[in-house]
Structure 1
Amino acid sequence: MRVVMFGYQTWGHRTLQALLDSEHDVVLVVTHPASDHVYEKIWNDSVADLAARHGVPVLLRNRPGDEELLAALKAAEPDVIVANNWRTWLPPEIFDLPPHGTLNIHDSLLPSYAGFSPLIWALINGERHVGVTAHRMDAELDAGDVLIQRSVPVGAADTATDLFHRTVDLIGPLVTESLDLIASGRAVWTPQDRSRATFFHKRALEDSRIDWTWPAEDLERLIRAQSDPYPQAFTHHRGERLRIVSAAVSEGRYGGTPGRIFIREGDGVVVVAGAGARTGRLPGLLVRRVRTEDGAEQSATDYFRTMGGYLTPRP
Structure 2
Amino acid sequence: MRIVLFGFQAWGRKTLQALIDSEHEVSLAVTHPASVQPYKAIWSDSVEELARAHGIRVHLTDRADAATIDLVKRAEPDVIVVNSWYTWMPPELYNLPPHGTLNLHDSLLPKFTGFSPVLWALISGESEFGLTVHRMDEQLDTGDILVQRSLPIGPTATGTELVEAGMELIPGALREALSALESGTAVWRPQRKAERTYFHKRSERDSRIDWFWSAVDLERFVRALSEPYPRAFSYYRGERVEILDAAVSAACYGGTVGRVVVQEGGGVVVCGRDAIRGRNRGLVINLVRTMDDCEHTGAEFFSRGGYLTDAPD
**TM-score exceeds 0.5:** yes
Identical columns (%)? 54
Which residue does 1:184 correspond to in 2?
183
CA shift at 1:306, angstroms?
2.6
- Aligned-partner Cα distance in 2 for 1:164–1:246: 19
SS state of the match for residue 248, structure 1? strand
Alignment of 1:1-315 (within 5 A): 1-64=1-64, 66-274=65-273, 276-307=274-305, 309-315=306-312
* TM-score, normalised relative to structure 2: 0.98
- Aligned-partner Cα distance in 1 for 2:249–2:15: 42
One-letter identity of the residue aligned with 2:288? V
One-letter identity of the residue aligned with 2:16? L
- Aligned-partner Cα distance in 1 for 2:216–2:37: 29
Q: Which aligned segments of 4 or more residues in structure 1 are displaced greater than 6 angstroms?
A: none
CA shift at 1:61, angstroms?
1.2
CA shift at 1:305, angstroms?
2.0
SS state of the match for residue 81, structure 1? strand
- Aligned-partner Cα distance in 2 for 1:310–1:224: 22
- Aligned-partner Cα distance in 2 for 1:48–1:236: 40
CA shift at 1:277, angstroms?
1.1
CA shift at 1:43, angstroms?
1.0
One-letter identity of the residue aligned with 1:313? D
- Aligned-partner Cα distance in 2 for 1:96–1:194: 21
CA shift at 1:229, angstroms?
1.1
Deviation readout 1:198-227 (Å, 9 max, x if unpaired): 011111111000111111111111100101
- Aligned-partner Cα distance in 2 for 1:88–1:201: 14
One-letter identity of the residue aligned with 2:34? A
- Aligned-partner Cα distance in 2 for 1:168–1:174: 10
- Aligned-partner Cα distance in 1 for 2:23–2:238: 58
CA shift at 1:266, angstroms?
1.3
CA shift at 1:116, angstroms?
0.2
CA shift at 1:128, angstroms?
0.3
SS state of the match for residue 168, structure 2? helix
* Superposition RMSD in Å: 0.8
SS state of the match for residue 104, structure 1? strand
- Aligned-partner Cα distance in 2 for 1:90–1:157: 37
SS state of the match for residue 80, structure 2? strand
SS state of the match for residue 132, structure 1? strand
- Aligned-partner Cα distance in 1 for 2:310–2:49: 41
Provide the aligned length of Structure 1 versus Structure 2.
312
Q: Structure 2: 5+ residue runs without aligned partners?
A: none
SS state of the match for residue 169, structure 2? helix
CA shift at 1:102, angstroms?
0.1
- Aligned-partner Cα distance in 1 for 2:265–2:31: 49
CA shift at 1:68, angstroms?
1.3
- Aligned-partner Cα distance in 2 for 1:284–1:67: 55
SS state of the match for residue 310, structure 1? strand
* TM-score, normalised relative to structure 1: 0.98
- Aligned-partner Cα distance in 2 for 1:225–1:155: 12
- Aligned-partner Cα distance in 2 for 1:61–1:258: 48
- Aligned-partner Cα distance in 1 for 2:33–2:60: 6
- Aligned-partner Cα distance in 2 for 1:104–1:301: 47
- Aligned-partner Cα distance in 1 for 2:246–2:269: 9
CA shift at 1:248, angstroms?
0.6
CA shift at 1:280, angstroms?
0.8
SS state of the match for residue 119, structure 1? helix
